[in-house]
Structures are given as C-alpha cells and as structure tokens.
C-alpha cells in the first residue's frame, strides 16, 4: 500500500478533470483503510473515491483520498426464490450486474451500464428505467473514517430517497462502504414499466424477454442518449429532477402549458431537469471546453481540457437560467468537491 503526495486524479474521475489530491492511496481491504487512517497523523479530511463517475472536482482536493478497491462477489445465502449476494465496495457496478445475469439472478438488469462502483451505489441510491438500488438492497458493511469502527447498516438506517441516502446527509463523508449485500431473484420479476425498454424489445421482436434481453435493451438505450465517458468526459445527469408541490407546479404550468411532468404517488409533481435546461436553449450548446450534451441536456460534458471551475461555472449559469425562466431551482445530483460549507 503506497501513499502518494500531490496525486493527479485525472484518470480517476469520468469528467476527466485534472485536479490533484494532497494525498492518495488505493485500499483493497478494511485493514488497508485502518493503516491509511493511522498514518494520517496530520488529520487531513479523508475522502473515499469509487469509480469517480458522480463527481465534479472544482479544484485540487486538500484531502487524503482513498480509492476503494475492495473486491469479491459471492452468494452468501440462498433459498428457492432468492439469493443474497455480497459484493466488495470496489467492484465495478456494471461488472457486478453482468455477474448477476451470468448467475441467472434478477433485479439489477435495469441498472446495467451505470458507471461507478458497488460501494458508491447506495450513497445516491442509483436508479434507472423504473428500478432503484433500494429495491434489491439488503444491508451494507462500512468502516468509520475517524475511528476505524466497523458497522452494518440496513435499509431503514440508510433511509433511501430519490438519488439520496443518509450517506449524503448526516453521515456524509463519514464512512467507507466496504461491502454491499443484495437480495436477488431466482424467479425473475421483470420491470418493463419504462416505455423505451418495451419499445426496444418489441423492435427486436422479443416477446418473452430474459434478464439478459432487458440488460441489452438498457445498454442500447443508455448508449444512444448518454455520452461514453471514455470518449467525452461527463458524470451522467448533472442535476436532479426537481420535485414540486402540486400548487407550485400548477403556477408554473399556467405559464408553460407544455411542461413535461410526472405525477408522483405522494401528490407532488416531478419535472425532468433535461427538459427545463433544453427549453432554456442549452442543449448541444458549447461554452469553451464544456457544454450540455447534444442528446441529453441534463448531462454536462468536458470536450477536452475543461477545468472543474469552468464546468461549475456553466452549471451555475444553467441553474440560474432555469430559475429565471421557470422559477424552479435545480440542484446538482453529482458530488461537487471540495465540499462547500
Ligand atoms: N428531456 C428533454 N430534453 C433533454 C433531456 C430530457 O426534453 O435534453 C425530457 C424528455 O421529455 C424525456 C424526459 O426529459 O422524456 C426524461 O428524460 P430521460 O428519460 O432521459 O430521463 P431523465 O429524467 O433525464 C433520469 C435519470 C437518469 C436515468 C434516466 C432513465 C435523474 C437525475 N436522471 O434521467 O440517470 O438513466 O432517468 O431512468 O434522475 C444519472 O443519474 O446519472 C442518470 C443518467
């Protein structure tokens, strides 16, 4: 285990931003985390990095960055209907999904091709095409970055919400998620509620889809809308889709009768941020080295040498224009670092 000083994070974030960590170390076990914490005698704040796919590095990080490389996937318990699968926090998320499909275990196929790691997935309760991580989550193991104490957290403690959990609130930055346990189905219950999946399957003439068919459809849909981070730097959706009260929504709808929206079971109304941003004229627009992607305005991109500050400045400008036009505040979904107080 080597601790590096002044380490470039360019290859460690899918936005491809060239910011540096004051100190950097890859950790492959809980013991490695303990060792790194013990050696952190000048008490730099500790930050756990996963796949770096949901991050915007605005500046260099005055942190000790620990890259989670804890590996291993196995079935730890099973019955006739389900299997409990444990996966190391440093496993690549999509590789984990493919492992589940290869073992004929259903539940995560709609979450195919989401960049990032298994350990980062619960933090923002990753979701796509009608499924969220919380739907298959059983529990997780985590190590406290201050004391080194280890704990187990169930779904109740994690308190998942839309792109949200306790690890984005009260426990933000406090724990390394070392292992996640998923309850997966042997008898598959496919979720085809998201129109594009059903359309893609139909276009391929698939009448009785398998979990592999659904995964392939999701991969096709994602690839057509979202830029490949190995070609164009990005962090997926940059902002969350805002949720408005019915009254607030109706006030906006009076002025914008065509506004795209979804009624939520709790009575609120969700508006796609991608639509709001497109209406403000940002879709496909390039500003210096950055811009809003041509096929999905919610995705901000780095065309080459954008600095984190440049992307952040565009994000602020976009949010301001949405607020000015619609009176709706959109907030980042990505983790913006260093943290602002
Ligand atoms: N839209 C536009 N213009 C755009 C983009 C979207 O008008 O440029 C409108 C369209 O009407 C479209 C609607 O917005 O029907 C929704 O778009 P889309 O289906 O692409 O989904 P999204 O709400 O923009 C969310 C997630 C994605 C996830 C997809 C599919 C958030 C913040 N994003 O995007 O997650 O893949 O749904 O489930 O909830 C991510 O979190 O990084 C991510 C990519």
Q: For the segment 20-57, what is each residue's pLDDT rounded down to a tens digit?
A: 999 999 999 999 999 999 999 999 999 999 999 999 99
With a 6 A CB cut-off, is 333 part of the ligand 1 pocket?
yes
Inside any domain, residue 219: no
Residue with the two structure tokens 């602020």 = 316
Q: Same structural domain for residues 80 and 179?
A: yes
Instruction: Say if residue 233's pLDDT is above 80.
Output: yes
Nearest to 174 by CA among 150, 206, 203, 205: 150
179 and 78 both lie in a single domain? yes
Question: Does the beta carbon of 110 sit less than 6 angstroms from any atom of ligand 1?
Answer: no
Of 58, 163, 179, 222, catalytic: 163
Is the beta carbon of 318 within 6 A of some atom in ligand 1? no
* Distance in Å, CA 278 to ligand 1 centroid: 12
d(CA 274, CA 270): 12
Boundary residue ending a domain (68, 100, 118) = 68
Who's near 124: CB < 8 A, 6+ residues apart?
54, 163, 164, 165, 168, 333
The band of 1, judged by pLDDT with boundaries at 50, 70 and 90, is confident
Burial of 331 (0-12, 13-18, 19+ CB in 10 A): exposed
Q: Catalytic: which of 69, 91, 132, 333?
A: 333
Tell me how far apart the alpha carbons of residues 189 and 88 are, in angstroms, rounded to a whole number.
25
Catalytic residue check, 183: no
Q: What are phi and psi of 227, to 5 degrees?
A: -70, 145
Could you tell me if the CB of 294 is within 6 A of ligand 1?
no
Q: What is the average pLDDT across 75-100?
A: 98
Residue 74, number of CB atoms within 10 A of its CB: 11
Query: Active-site residue 77, yes or no?
Result: no
Return d(Cα 304, Cα 282) in angstroms, integer.
19
Q: Please identify, by atom number, the ligand 1 atom nearest to the C-alpha of residue 297.
A: 8
Q: What average pLDDT does this structure show over 132-153?
A: 97
Residues 179 and 77 in one domain: yes
Residue 222 falls inside a structural domain = no
Q: Residue range 208-232: average pLDDT?
A: 95
**Which pLDDT score is estimated for 339?**
77
Examine the residue annotation and report whether 333 is marked as an active-site residue of this protein: yes
Q: Which atom of ligand 1 lies at the shortest distance from residue 240's CA?
A: 32
* pLDDT for the residue 219: 97
Q: Domain limits at 30?
A: 4-68
**CATH code assigned at 329:** 3.90.78.10
Q: What tokens were used for 243? A: 């949720």
Average pLDDT over residues 300-322: 97
Given a cut of 60, is residue 232 above it in pLDDT?
A: yes
CA distance 280 to 52: 29
Residue 157 lies in a domain: yes
Q: Are residues 24 and 50 in the same domain?
A: yes
- Distance (Å, whole) CA 267 – CA 94: 34
Whether 251 is in a domain gets the answer yes
Q: How many domains does the chain have?
A: 3
Q: Is there a domain that residue 190 lies in?
A: no
Question: Ligand 1: does its nearest atom lie under 6 Å from the Cβ of 331?
Answer: no
Share of the chain above pLDDT 70, in %: 99
- Average pLDDT in the 192-219 region? 96
Nearest atom, ligand 1, residue 226 CA: 44
Average pLDDT, integer, range 276-302? 98
- Four-CA torsion 60, 66, 71, 75, nearest 10 degrees: -100
Parallel, antiparallel or unpaired: strands 269-270 and 262-263: antiparallel
In angstroms, how far is the first alpha carbon of the chain from the final one? Answer: 32
Average pLDDT, the chain: 96
**Is any ligand 1 atom within 6 A of the Cβ of residue 14?**
no
pTM attached to this predicted model: 0.93
Question: What are the pLDDT digits (tens) for 203-215?
Answer: 999 999 999 999 9
Q: Tell me the average pLDDT across 115-143.
A: 97
Nearest CA to ligand 1 atom 43: 237
Rg of the chain (C-alpha set): 20
Q: Of 24, 48, 68, which residue sits at a domain end?
A: 68
Closest to 35 in 3D by CA, of 69, 2, 68: 2
Cβ(332) – ligand 1 distance below 6 Å: no
Q: Whose CA is nearest to atom 7 of ligand 1?
A: 275
- Which of 53, 112, 165, 237 is an active site residue? 237
* pLDDT at residue number 340: 66
């Amino acid at each position: 285990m080597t601790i590096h000083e002044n380490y470039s994070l360019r290859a460690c974030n899918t936005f491809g931003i060239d910011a540096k960590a004051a100190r950097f170390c890859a950790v492959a076990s809980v013991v490695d985390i303990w060792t790194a914490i013990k050696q952190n005698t000048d008490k730099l704040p500790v930050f756990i990095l996963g796949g770096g796919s949901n991050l915007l590095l605005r500046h260099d990080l005055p942190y000790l960055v620990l890259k989670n490389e804890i590996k291993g996937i196995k079935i730890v318990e099973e019955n006739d209907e389900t299997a409990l699968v444990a996966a190391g926090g440093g496993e690549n998320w999509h590789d984990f999904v493919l492992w589940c499909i290869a073992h004929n275990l259903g539940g995560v196929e709609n979450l195919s091709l989401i960049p990032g790691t298994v350990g980062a997935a619960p933090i923002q309760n990753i979701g796509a095409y009608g499924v969220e991580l919380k739907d298959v989550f059983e529990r997780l193991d985590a190590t406290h970055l201050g004391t080194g104490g280890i704990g187990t957290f169930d779904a109740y403690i994690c308190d998942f919400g839309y792109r949200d959990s306790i690890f984005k609130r009260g426990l933000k930055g406090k724990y390394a998620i070392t292992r996640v346990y998923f309850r997966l189905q042997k008898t598959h219950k496919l979720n085809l509620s998201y129109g594009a999946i059903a359309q893609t399957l139909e276009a391929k003439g698939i009448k009785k889809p398998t979990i592999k068919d659904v995964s392939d459809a999701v991969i096709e849909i994602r690839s057509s809308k979202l830029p490949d981070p190995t070609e164009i730097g990005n962090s997926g959706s940059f902002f969350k889709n805002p949720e408005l009260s019915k009254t607030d929504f109706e006030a906006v709808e009076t002025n914008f009768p065509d506004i795209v929206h979804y009624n939520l079971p709790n009575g609120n109304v969700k508006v796609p941020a991608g639509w709001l941003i497109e209406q403000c004229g940002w879709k496909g627009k390039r500003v210096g080295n950055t811009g809003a992607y041509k096929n999905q305005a919610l995705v901000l991109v780095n065309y080459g040498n954008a600095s984190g500050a440049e992307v952040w400045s565009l994000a602020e400008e976009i949010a301001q224009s949405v607020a000015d036009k619609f009176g709706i505040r959109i907030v980042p979904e990505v983790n913006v670092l260093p943290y602002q107080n």
